[in-house]
Amino acid sequence: MRILVVEDEPTLARQLVLALGEAGYAAVSADNGEDGHYLGSVEPFDAVVLDLGLPRMDGLTVLGKWRAAGLTVPVLILTARDSWHEKVAGIDAGADDYLTKPFHMEELLARVRALIRRAGGHASAILSCGPVVLDTRAGRVSVDGQPVMLTSHEFRVLAYLMHHQGEVVSRTDLNEHIYAQDYDRDSNTIEVFIGRLRKKLPPGLIETARGLGYRLATPT
Ligand code: CA
């Protein structure tokens, strides 16, 4: 899952990228509205954390432009304290949720998880596929109740597949959604991660759809 953070306060931006990274997301940040708007328009993201007070283009304009262009990515806006009118304007502009500064990082992470879950049509923070259970809150995976140790990239690949259960996910999709930066991308490594996941997870769980990508087998 890739998250775009658009925030001009350097300390807060760093904390956000760090916390999201530790929570298992690939986070990318922009420190002004213009760059944020551009990145959100040309790159795939699973959620956006958008500050409203931004240099070069304010957050409401960024959000309005995205929505006018048909972009449906879930957006969490960050608003100043005591500014209820910003929240109203933000929600009217197409924000999915808001958080008032200052906030606790745990709350931000919970809201981001909820946005991604709802966007994927999942009601719970726990995703399961047969004996495999992935806890998006704790960043843990278990098989038949036994914990399975995954690297952060393996976790991201599995989380993406579990959020898209029953669908064929292409290598390109996985590539675009598990790395923070373009230059990290290499579609051959996706096969490596899939190979390692297959060794750690029950046989037959990750099916190959020849020439198309991968699909989590729905257990019968
Ligand atoms: Ca700001």
Show the tokens assigned to 167: 């669908």
Based on the fold, state whether residues 198 and 113 are members of the same structural domain.
no
pLDDT of residue 123 exceeding 70? no
Phi-psi region of 130 (alpha: psi -120 to 50; beta: other; left: phi over 0): left
For residue 38, CA distances in Å to 59, 67, 72, 90, 172 come to: 13, 13, 15, 19, 21
Q: What is the pTM of this model?
A: 0.75
Average pLDDT over residues 32-52: 95
**Ligand 1 midpoint to CA 42 (Å):** 23
- Structural domain count of the chain: 2
CATH code where residue 155 lies: 1.10.10.10
Based on the fold, state whether residues 43 and 90 are members of the same structural domain.
yes
**Ligand 1 midpoint to CA 79 (Å):** 9
Based on the fold, state whether residues 155 and 109 are members of the same structural domain.
no
**Ligand 1 midpoint to CA 78 (Å):** 9
Percent pLDDT > 70 in the chain is: 96
pLDDT tens by residue, 155-170: 999 999 998 888 999 9
Q: Going along the chain, which residue ranges are E strands? A: 2-6, 26-30, 47-51, 75-79, 97-100, 126-129, 132-135, 140-143, 146-148, 206-209, 213-216
Domain limit, last residue, from 119, 137, 155: 119
pLDDT tens by residue, 19-34: 999 998 999 999 999 9
**Ligand 1 midpoint to CA 7 (Å):** 6
pLDDT tier, 95 (very low <50, low <70, confident <90, very high otherwise): very high
**Ligand 1 midpoint to CA 65 (Å):** 19
**Ligand 1 midpoint to CA 61 (Å):** 14
Based on the fold, state whether residues 114 and 10 are members of the same structural domain.
yes
Specify the DSSP class assigned to residue 32. S
Average pLDDT over residues 87-114: 93
**Ligand 1 midpoint to CA 59 (Å):** 9
Based on the fold, state whether residues 103 and 134 are members of the same structural domain.
no
Residue 40 parent element (H or E): helix 33-42
Domain hosting 198: range is 126-216
**Ligand 1 midpoint to CA 53 (Å):** 4
Based on the fold, state whether residues 55 and 133 are members of the same structural domain.
no
Based on the fold, state whether residues 91 and 107 are members of the same structural domain.
yes
pLDDT of residue 182 exceeding 70? no
Residues with C-beta atoms within 5 A of ion ligand 1: 8, 51, 53
Domain limit, last residue, from 67, 87, 119: 119
